[in-house]
Amino acid sequence: MALALSSTLAPRLLPLRLPKVCLALSADTVEDMLATAESMATDDPFLEFRLDYLKQPLAALPKIHRFLETHQYVTAIATCRRVDNGGKFKGSLASQLEVLAKAHAAGCPIVDLELQSALKSKPEAIARLRSRAALILSFHDFRATRNLDETLEKMLKIPADFYKVVSTATTLFDNVAMMKFLQTQSDQHALIGLCMGEQGIISRVLGARAGSVFTFGAVDANAGLKTAPGQISTRDLRGIYRIDQVDPATRIYGVAGDPIQHSLSPVIMNAALHRENVNGVYLPLHAKTLKDLIRCAREIPLHGLSITMPYKQAIIPYLDNTDAHTAKVGACNTVVRGQDSKLYGFNTDIAGILRPLEQRLSIENAKVLVIGAGGAARAAVFGLRERGAEVWILNRTSVKGQKLARQAKARTLKRADLRKIAFDVIINATPVGMGNSRDCPLKDEEIQARVVFDMVYDPVETHLLQVARAKGIAVIPGIEMFVQQAARQFEIWTGKPAPAAEMLGAVTIALQDRAALKQPKT
């Protein structure tokens, strides 16, 4: 990509060879800011000092100077965004320019100034600043993604070294608008472009491929240490999404649902793609409507999608074709975009249920109790019946259980009759036991079988599994289903065997991390 750097600055800027990710640093005190910089600079040598977060930015500069002198490999951006423009700096325009000029003198080769401040300043003042430092002229739209080309046109009237256009994604399709903008304009101008917000993740991970010189990452997005909505930590950008490897050939996958924030699918799928050296990246896609998702899938283009709540049934009319399992169960959890651009639907929940079971017993003629009659129960009942198991359904709403039993040639069971049958397997396909609850779909004395399978996977060890284990019954935790349904998706998308052990390891660590976060702090 050709950068339109000014001739005077080019010799100073070109050796910088900016990394793809800049770590945005914010803290109340310069000591905290520098402590974070110190601990992260080896992995993240490109830093943005958000001076506007500090009470006295000018007073902090000598310390920043000392840090930069002793960390020569660090490239720093100084930003002192005004309150009116979404920052925290309350001083005058003149003092904002003074902070930036002095920050440059303190060792920050790049400074960021908002378009609004630049428009209010004398052109000579901007030119003076730019004669010393490389200037990022920035514009943030905190409401929407709109008029990107017009905004750039306005910005180009002010000479700068980089033009940073940041919008807010309210739909997934907004990412398409941002990436088209980057693709068409980045040949002529050095652009930094991304969408804020949870739905902007596509632009954060794929923006550099579309032409953004770099993107921004947070210190720790979960601990509130981010400077913009939707910012991802630099650790996740590099570790999970492997942003440094994303190139034009990278295939894009994702999990779509509403909500999606807590999905563990990105952790498990990116671990698998990495392990098997597949040039692909898998993103969490918060789809507020299916229409938005489908438009985005066609334009990005997304190669494969995992579909989760609440779209497993609703997606079916949007698909060009589905496999037999999807049609039977009436739910689709996997979409492939074929070379013909058509969307094909699959159901891998069935594989997720059958694979762990057949590792423990022969499914043919096994007597299985399925508790529940929702989507997951339907996958279990149809899958088991197809493999010759005898299936009984116990559901809170009995008519729903009866309907499923009729469709799948299974039977229903009254709770009172539970102990009349010696089951080989009991499967919990209800959410009972989820979270930290000690709830259990059965009473202790009703838990009698050779194998107990709980589809609930958070917590890993539910009360149902604890009781079964204590009775010496073999148990299948829901995490195994989660891994196996994902493994089947991986196989459909890549044609390679899935690294199931690696995937199980990744999701186990993620669940442990999540449980640790929930622990009350002492």
Stretch that binds ligand NAP, among 77-85, 200-208, 219-227, 372-380 (CB under 6 A): 372-380
Decide if residue 257 touches ligand NAP (CB under 6 A): no
- Looking only at residues 175 through 234 of this chain, which bind ligand NAP when binding is defined by CB under 6 A? none
Per-residue H/E/C for 387-456? CCCEEEEECCCHHHHHHHHHHHCCEECCHHHHHHCCCCEEEECCCCCCCCCCCCCCCHHHCCCCEEEECC
Residue 315's CB is within 10 A of a number of other CB atoms, namely 23
Q: Closer to ligand NAP at the Cβ: 108 or 376? A: 376
Q: Closer to ligand NAP at the Cβ: 217 or 352? A: 352
Stretch that binds ligand NAP, among 85-93, 243-251, 427-435, 504-512 (CB under 6 A): 427-435
Which of 228, 376, 442, 506 contacts ligand NAP by CB under 6 A? 376
In the bound complex, which residue of the shown chain has the CB atom lying closest to ligand NAP?
Answer: 374
Q: Closer to ligand NAP at the Cβ: 96 or 395? A: 395
Q: Closer to ligand NAP at the Cβ: 304 or 375? A: 375
291 labelled catalytic: no
Q: φ, ψ for residue 163 (rounded to 5)?
A: -115, 120
Decide if residue 311 touches ligand NAP (CB under 6 A): no
Decide if residue 280 touches ligand NAP (CB under 6 A): no
Q: Closer to ligand NAP at the Cβ: 154 or 406? A: 406
Stretch that binds ligand NAP, among 140-148, 259-267, 375-383, 498-506 (CB under 6 A): 375-383
Q: Would you call 140 helix, strand, or coil by DSSP?
A: strand
Decide if residue 384 touches ligand NAP (CB under 6 A): no
| Contact (CB, 8 A) for 205 and 247 | no
| Contact (CB, 8 A) for 33 and 8 | no
- We find the least distance from the C-beta atom of residue 436 to ligand NAP, in angstroms, to be 14
Closest by CA to 79, choosing from 141, 25, 4, is 25
| Contact (CB, 8 A) for 145 and 195 | yes
Q: φ, ψ for residue 176 (rounded to 5)?
A: -65, -45
The residue annotated as part of the active site, out of 63, 312, 400, 414, is 312
Q: Would you call 221 helix, strand, or coil by DSSP?
A: coil
Positive/negative CA dihedral, 98, 83, 44, 38: positive
- We find the least distance from the C-beta atom of residue 401 to ligand NAP, in angstroms, to be 7
- We find the least distance from the C-beta atom of residue 162 to ligand NAP, in angstroms, to be 44
CA distances, 203 to each of 81, 283, 438 (Å):
22, 11, 41
Q: Closer to ligand NAP at the Cβ: 91 or 431? A: 431
Q: Closer to ligand NAP at the Cβ: 13 or 373? A: 373
- We find the least distance from the C-beta atom of residue 285 to ligand NAP, in angstroms, to be 18
Decide if residue 263 touches ligand NAP (CB under 6 A): no
Decide if residue 375 touches ligand NAP (CB under 6 A): yes
Closest by CA to 107, choosing from 168, 167, 62, is 62
Per-residue H/E/C for 76-123? EEEECCEHHHCCCECCCHHHHHHHHHHHHHCCCCEEEEEHHHHHHCCH
- We find the least distance from the C-beta atom of residue 399 to ligand NAP, in angstroms, to be 9
Q: Would you call 23 helix, strand, or coil by DSSP?
A: strand
Closest by CA to 467, choosing from 503, 439, 502, is 439
Q: Closer to ligand NAP at the Cβ: 200 or 477? A: 477
Decide if residue 265 touches ligand NAP (CB under 6 A): no
What tokens does 47 get?
């830093």
- We find the least distance from the C-beta atom of residue 485 to ligand NAP, in angstroms, to be 5
- Looking only at residues 396 through 425 of this chain, which bind ligand NAP when binding is defined by CB under 6 A? 396-397, 400
- The residue type at 382: F
- Looking only at residues 444 through 483 of this chain, which bind ligand NAP when binding is defined by CB under 6 A? 455-457, 478, 481-482
> Which residues are identified as catalytic?
312
Residues engaged in binding ligand NAP (CB under 6 A)? 349, 352, 372-377, 395-397, 400, 429-432, 434, 455-457, 478, 481-482, 485
